[in-house]
Structure 1
Amino acid sequence: MGNYYSMSELFKDIYNQAFYQQFADVVNNVIEGFSTDSFINKIFDESFDGMELKARMAHTSSVLHYFLDDDFDVATKQIIAIIDALESKGLSEQSIEYMFFPHYIEQFGLDEYESAVVAFERITQFTSCEFAVRPFLVKYPEPMLAQMTAWTKHTHPSVRRLASEGSRPRLPWAMALPAYKANPTPLLPILTTLRDDNDEVVRRSVANNLNDIAKDNPDFVVNFAQQYSGESVNTDKLIKHACRTLLKQGHPAILSFYGLSYEHLSVDNLVVECDALHIGESLAFKFDVTNHDVKSRKIRLEYAIHYRKKNGQLAPKVFKISERDYAASCTRH
């Protein structure tokens, strides 16, 4: 089994006839009384073609609900049995097509906390649950956060990642978590436990969580960096990635932390090689950078492009050019 779409197709078209047919064939061997023909007919109803990705995902979980047991706890066990069967067919982990499984838990299990938590722990080892777990953090803040903290000790990296990724205050394309935007302190046990995890994907999630936090609580991230810097190569890399927004903002404490300063530095002879651009064209520019200090120093170069928003205002987006050592009295072109 594998992916049933080409890169040229729309992302929503991961949900296509071939995918559903092979999925239904697997489910047919797991769920007693399941009808492949009925499932396919319900999937491809008159509204299917007009659905975008998330709508098709939700639609799939709703159709699946029709065939699973009415008892949510039993239904989650059926889902896990389906996942076991899919894995036995050689399907790789973290297949985005199957994110309708966690959506099912969110849609039909929000009032079934204990069964939902057990299901999340297994499902996220197959397809990521960071979107679906967030309504549970809102409805059950203390027990859900305690459970996610416990997951930081799990043997499977995808479960450990869920602890961090699912609790990100500003996870893209997901509902925000206002409580942690206001006060991220409850997330500290998760972040500190996973800061030197042996899996790079888990560590990157921690960095992204901290970067989210930096947008509302920069001092929290500055303190984290100061406390854990130097522990290991991996932790230092995580901290640097976590501080990327603060670095782009020129946050004074982070610039100082990394030994970066505007002093004894000049940028001269800036040349922009065209006055106007059309979408899709490239902009070339050049300049000289001089370190006037009497000692070698690290210099981080960035540039900003201001994009016009719908309201007519300009908003800058910062891009990194380089970060390197400059010798005393050195000029680079």
Structure 2
Amino acid sequence: MPEPLKKLLHEELVGDMADHVAAHAPAFDRERFVTLATDGLVALELMERSALIRDALLATLPGDFPKAASILKASLPAADTPGLSGWMLLPVNQFIAARGTDHFDLGLDLLKALTPHFTGEFGIRQFIHRDQQRALATISTWVGDPDQHERRLASEGTRPRLPWAMRLPQLVKDPAPILPILTALMDDPEDYVRRSVANSLNDIAKDHPDLVAAFIAGHIDGASAERRRLLKHASRTMLKKGHAQALANFGFDPATALTCELRLQNGEVAFGEGLDFEIRLTNSGETAHSLMIDYAIHHIKADGSLSPKVFKCKTLTLAPGQSHAIERRHAMRPITTRRYYPGEHRIAVLVNGAESASESFVLRMPSPDPGQCLFVRCT
């Protein structure tokens, strides 16, 4: 089993942070910082640990932000000299977010300086929330920066729904101000940056699918292979939901002359095993069809209702009169991301976003208590 994420921030790391800061601030109270930053640390989760270390920085660095910023910037790695880097900079992000917005340009500059050594995406959001227009005016200048990490920060830091970070409600409501940033980075030479652009567009599509579908339609003609991959990744939520324009952007038009059959090998599945099934597709029309095949498992919830989860399956082109069979096993393994209940579930085949066939199956749990639920994931 992998180590819990919370262990990325630990007592030894706190000691290393203290050493790096103390090397550039003779008046820094190293021992007090370590005491404050490790008091109860082991009982906390990752972001709680980061907040504890942030509070220790707030208590021990100068109250004057320009002085504190000068110390932190000097404490970053330089040439062959080690310094604050990696997960040490998560609480530094939080420190800058807490103290830096009253010194707007200096705070943004510090986040830009630290991002090659970790990322500034967590701290920058408070600046966007405080004064979106001013923050974006600065961030938009980073799209041409020679450093790929700083270019990525322009995209990742402005994502409306960045995981683990504060949401940006103004950009959730109206993402138009960040579209020029995403457009400028769409053909970035680094896949690392392009994937961030795709993730930001996917964030926006959760609230504004028509806007993103239209944006992609406007940028897909003549696109390079790299841009097409970016645009398709950006469309993943819309494609799973069968958004008509998103499907059409990639040539997945309604397959009106298609026959779809779904056959289950086992109508009952024991927890820990898998559902074996076959999908058979036949093009009975006179033209070829480009097909995106997904399937959805409709899980039973605690109240007995069904909730679908869509899984990617295959894309293919069927010539007129051609048939194609797909065999899959949908395995179920216990993890902590889904409560699973026994009883009748449903599997549905989605062809170009439209449900084309479905069957029911029964999940049997190993517990003698029919009301007991287990945590599992379907893969």
Counterpart amino acid of residue 315 in structure 2: E
- Change in 2 beyond 3 A, CA 1:54/1:324: same
Aligned position for 2:37: 43
Unaligned runs of 5+ in 2: 326-379
Deviation, 1:13, is 1.4
Over 6 Å off, 4+ runs: none
1:10 aligns with 2:4: yes
Aligned position for 1:315: 307
Aligned partner of 2:82 among 82, 85, 89: 89
Counterpart amino acid of residue 281 in structure 2: V
1:305 aligns with 2:297: yes
Percent identical: 35
Secondary structure in 2 aligned to 1:300? strand
User: Counterparts of 1:105-144 in structure 2 under 5 Å?
Assistant: 105-144=96-135
Contact map agreement 2:93 2:120 (CA 8 A) in 1: yes
Aligned position for 2:230: 238
Aligned position for 2:366: none
Deviation, 1:269, is 4.3
Counterpart amino acid of residue 125 in structure 1: P
Aligned position for 2:166: 175
Counterpart amino acid of residue 40 in structure 1: V
Deviation, 1:199, is 1.2
Aligned partner of 1:266 among 259, 266, 283: 259
Report the Cα distance in structure 1 between the residues aligned to 2:157 and 2:281, rounded to whole angstroms. 42
Aligned position for 1:288: 280
Report the Cα distance in structure 2 between the residues aligned to 1:49 and 1:308, rounded to whole angstroms. 37
1:20 aligns with 2:10: no
- Change in 2 beyond 3 A, CA 1:116/1:311: farther
Report the Cα distance in structure 1 between the residues aligned to 2:218 and 2:165, rounded to whole angstroms. 30
Deviation, 1:207, is 0.7
Contact map agreement 2:172 2:204 (CA 8 A) in 1: yes
Aligned position for 1:197: 188
Q: What do the CA deviations read for 1:306-329 (whole angstroms, capped 9, x no partner)?
A: 234566643322111011222321
25-34 or 252-261: which moved more? 25-34
Deviation, 1:23, is 2.9
Q: What do the CA deviations read for 1:288-318 (whole angstroms, capped 9, x no partner)?
A: 1112233333211101122345666433221
Report the Cα distance in structure 1 between the residues aligned to 2:286 and 2:8, rounded to whole angstroms. 59
**Root mean square deviation of aligned Cα:** 2.2
Secondary structure in 1 aligned to 2:117? coil
Secondary structure in 2 aligned to 1:112? helix
Secondary structure in 2 aligned to 1:295? coil
- Change in 2 beyond 3 A, CA 1:110/1:228: same
Secondary structure in 1 aligned to 2:27? coil
Report the Cα distance in structure 2 between the residues aligned to 1:309 and 1:80, rounded to whole angstroms. 50
Contact map agreement 1:303 1:321 (CA 8 A) in 2: yes
Deviation, 1:243, is 0.9
Greater relative CO, 1 or 2 (CA 8 Å, sep 6+) = 2
Aligned position for 2:58: 65
Aligned partner of 2:25 among 2, 27, 31: 31
Contact map agreement 1:39 1:63 (CA 8 A) in 2: yes
Secondary structure in 1 aligned to 2:268? coil
136-145 or 305-314: which moved more? 305-314
Report the Cα distance in structure 2 between the residues aligned to 1:245 and 1:154, rounded to whole angstroms. 30
112-121 or 18-27: which moved more? 18-27
- Scaled by the length of structure 2, the TM-score of the pair is 0.79
Q: What do the CA deviations read for 1:193-234 (whole angstroms, capped 9, x no partner)?
A: 111111111111111111111121122212221211123222
Aligned partner of 1:74 among 55, 60, 67: 67
Counterpart amino acid of residue 31 in structure 2: D
- Change in 2 beyond 3 A, CA 1:139/1:89: closer
Deviation, 1:268, is 1.2
Secondary structure in 1 aligned to 2:230? helix
Aligned position for 1:3: none
Aligned position for 1:52: 45
Secondary structure in 2 aligned to 1:323? strand
Deviation, 1:101, is 1.4
Q: What do the CA deviations read for 1:66-125 (whole angstroms, capped 9, x no partner)?
A: 33222101211211111125962388x7x2342111111012223221221111111112
Report the Cα distance in structure 1 between the residues aligned to 2:167 and 2:59, rounded to whole angstroms. 30
168-177 or 200-209: which moved more? 168-177
Counterpart amino acid of residue 148 in structure 1: I
293-302 or 193-202: which moved more? 293-302
Counterpart amino acid of residue 120 in structure 1: L
Deviation, 1:272, is 4.6
Aligned partner of 2:248 among 256, 259, 267: 256
Contact map agreement 1:101 1:123 (CA 8 A) in 2: no
Report the Cα distance in structure 1 between the residues aligned to 2:126 and 2:55, rounded to whole angstroms. 18
Q: What do the CA deviations read for 1:144-199 (whole angstroms, capped 9, x no partner)?
A: 11111111122211111111111112222222222222222111211111111111
Report the Cα distance in structure 2 between the residues aligned to 1:86 and 1:21, rounded to whole angstroms. 22
- Change in 2 beyond 3 A, CA 1:265/1:244: same
